[in-house]
Amino acid sequence: MRDFDNMTVILLAAGQGTRMKSPLPKVLHPISGEPMIYRIIRTIQSLGDAEIRVVVGHGKELVSRVVDGLGVTCLIQEKQLGTGDAVRVAMEPPTDGDVLVLNGDHPLITADDLSKIVREFKSSDVGMGVVTCELGEPGSFGRIVRDSYGTVQAIVEAKDATDVALKIKEVNTGIYVASSDIFKKYLPQIQSTNAQNEYYLTDVVELMRTDQKEILGIKANRNVAFGVNSQMELAMANKEIYRKKVDTLLENGVIVLDPETTYVEDEVEVGSGAVLYPGVFLRGKTQIGALTVIEPNCMIIQSTIGDSCEIKAGSYIEKSEVGERSVLGPYARLRPETKIGKECKIGNFVELKKVDFGDKSKASHLTYLGDAEVGEDTNIGCGTITCNYREDKKKYKTKIGSGVFVGSDTQFIAPVEIGDGALIGSGSTITKNVPKDALAVARGRQIVKEGWATRFTGKK
Ligand code: UD1
Ligand code: MG
């Protein structure tokens, strides 16, 4: 059995997040390219089959829609009356077994942190554990009050604390793990008589003490306590998470010239000996082959790049595949459903969309190919355009065979097919199929009138 099987996890996400100063609900702000709340849900799910209950309030429709399909239940807290009230909402319908309470806005928590917390609780025989950590500047965190034996006696909110209590460095991270019976018994007893007129979940501690019940203080690292409350903290969290990913790449033999300015999302895989220049952004389920070089300011999204490729500066690649030893860019753009073969060349200002581009073929300059098939060893000249969009507002295909030479400034009016080995003269507008090995020229004939220029210039 895994640590989280048969557990209930309550994720608190109803707060407004006023200090974010953004119209987006706080838990939907992006961490490593996805809404903050996805990350914590995925972390929980990696630890077992817990029932996840998300308490939503501010922006509830949007948050519920975003987490729909992730296998969690959203419970609505109509008014944000405090963390105690939020957990009360989440305990309906009541659950059995152990309950873990987490904040939706603590993105630096790892699966390892959570599993340690739950294990420590399970190996004790107390009814509730509070996760704490020591902070040099405890600020607005609730303070953990212990007696002279070190037993946890209370959690005092900063706004309610005496000067003596404010000096305590051990703080409440806002994470709790308890047997559901404890919440069932004590949540209804919480009052809102405090500085904020809120129902404090933390009051459960004192209520338990009144009944002589022990509370476990579970010590964790400071990342566990790190909550996002402002754009500054969001930026710090992102920095930390991107940096961690780059550190793993470095450990696996990837060459990263400037780890601070290289952004790689969690699911990306990069082969050893690959080189990432500054300003590279790798997103989604992207795979980069071994020894591939990615020059500055490339954005690569959900794509697969083979081994020993060169992706030159400023290229943008989305939902595409590139075969080994191909060279792209600078400033190449691959739009979704493009498949580039091996040893190809896609040069500057070339845009491809839904193209199957065969091995060893080239499109070196200033070209648009859309809805096209290109065979092997074909050369697409500078300024070639597939005109795929017709007067009936439908898209049509251009099929170009293998060993074809397309002269510069050619337009293919789709649907059109060019046979293997064909030659297309520069400046052609191709409207009809061209058979194998044929030459097609489709341009106006040049007219030369000797001396006529002087009629305009007046020169003799
Ligand atoms: C709470 C703790 C404090 C702890 C801190 C750690 C209480 C009374 N205090 O502080 O001891 O140091 O967390 O971060 O619990 N939320 C709801 N509904 C509400 C109120 C809050 O869902 O009615 C959610 C928020 O969205 C947030 C979480 O609960 O995710 C914590 O709320 P927040 O206001 O940030 O924490 P504090 O109450 O300041
Ligand atoms: Mg609060």
85 within ligand 1 shell (Cβ under 6 A): yes
155 Cα nearest atom in ligand 1: 11
171 within ligand 1 shell (Cβ under 6 A): yes
CA distance 365 to 350: 6
Q: What pLDDT does 459 receive? A: 79
Among residues 106, 96, 74, 65, the alpha carbon closest in space to that of 10 is found at 74
**The domain 231-440 is classified under which CATH number: 3.30.390.10, 2.160.10.10, 1.20.1090.10, 3.40.50.970?**
2.160.10.10
Distance of CA 12 to the CA centre of its chain: 22
Is the separation of the CB atoms in 340 and 303 below 8 Å? no
Give the residue extent of every domain in the chain. 8-225, 231-440
Is the separation of the CB atoms in 398 and 371 below 8 Å? yes
CA 81 to ligand 2 centroid distance, Å? 9
172 within ligand 1 shell (Cβ under 6 A): yes
203 within ligand 1 shell (Cβ under 6 A): no
Task: Report DSSP letters for 39-105, one per residue.
Answer: HHHHHHHTT---EEEEEEBTBHHHHHHHHTTSS-EEEE-SS---HHHHHHHHTSS---SEEEEEETT
Is the separation of the CB atoms in 134 and 125 below 8 Å? no
Confirm whether 8-225 and 231-440 share one CATH topology. no
CATH code of the domain made up of 8-225:
3.90.550.10
C-beta neighbour count of 134 within 10 angstroms: 15
Give me the residues of the chain with pLDDT under 50, please: none
CA distance 60 to 433: 57
Q: Which two tokens stand for residue 162?
A: 């005496």
Among residues 71, 55, 62, 73, the alpha carbon closest in space to that of 14 is found at 55
Exposed e or buried b for every residue in 229-267, given b needs 16+ CB within 10 A?
beeebbeebbeebbeebbeebeeeebebeebebbbbbbb
Which residue in the block uniquely carries the two structure tokens 């597939």? 386
Q: What pLDDT does 394 receive? A: 95
Residues 6+ apart with CB under 8 A from 269: 286, 287, 288
Rg (CA), the chain: 31
CA distance 204 to 179: 13
Residue to substitute in 16, 18, 75, 83 for testing ligand 1 pocket (most ligand atoms within 8 angstroms of CB)? 83
CA 195 to ligand 1 centroid distance, Å? 14
* Predicted TM-score (pTM) of this structure: 0.92
pLDDT in tens, 80-119: 999 999 999 999 999 999 999 999 999 999 999 999 999 9
Q: Which two tokens stand for residue 219?
A: 């010590």
pLDDT in tens, 249-298: 999 999 999 999 999 999 999 999 999 999 999 999 999 999 999 999 99
Q: Is 58 left (phi over 0), alpha (psi -120 to 50) or beta?
A: beta
Q: Which two tokens stand for residue 349?
A: 């200002």
227 within ligand 1 shell (Cβ under 6 A): yes
201 within ligand 1 shell (Cβ under 6 A): yes
Is the separation of the CB atoms in 271 and 290 below 8 Å? yes
The vertex-28 CA angle with 105 and 269, nearest 5°, equals 90
79 Cα nearest atom in ligand 1: 23
CA 82 to ligand 1 centroid distance, Å? 7
CA distance 78 to 178: 25
132 within ligand 1 shell (Cβ under 6 A): no
- Residue 365: active-site member: yes
| Residue bearing the CA closest to ligand 1, atom 26 | 15
Distances (CA, A) of 302 to 85, 264, 320, 321: 41, 12, 7, 9
Q: Is 22 left (phi over 0), alpha (psi -120 to 50) or beta?
A: beta
CA 199 to ligand 2 centroid distance, Å? 10
| Residue bearing the CA closest to ligand 1, atom 35 | 15
CA distance 416 to 403: 17
171 Cα nearest atom in ligand 1: 12
Among residues 278, 309, 280, 317, the alpha carbon closest in space to that of 293 is found at 309
15 within ligand 1 shell (Cβ under 6 A): yes
Distances (CA, A) of 86 to 10, 103, 184, 199: 9, 11, 13, 9
Q: What pLDDT does 458 receive? A: 83
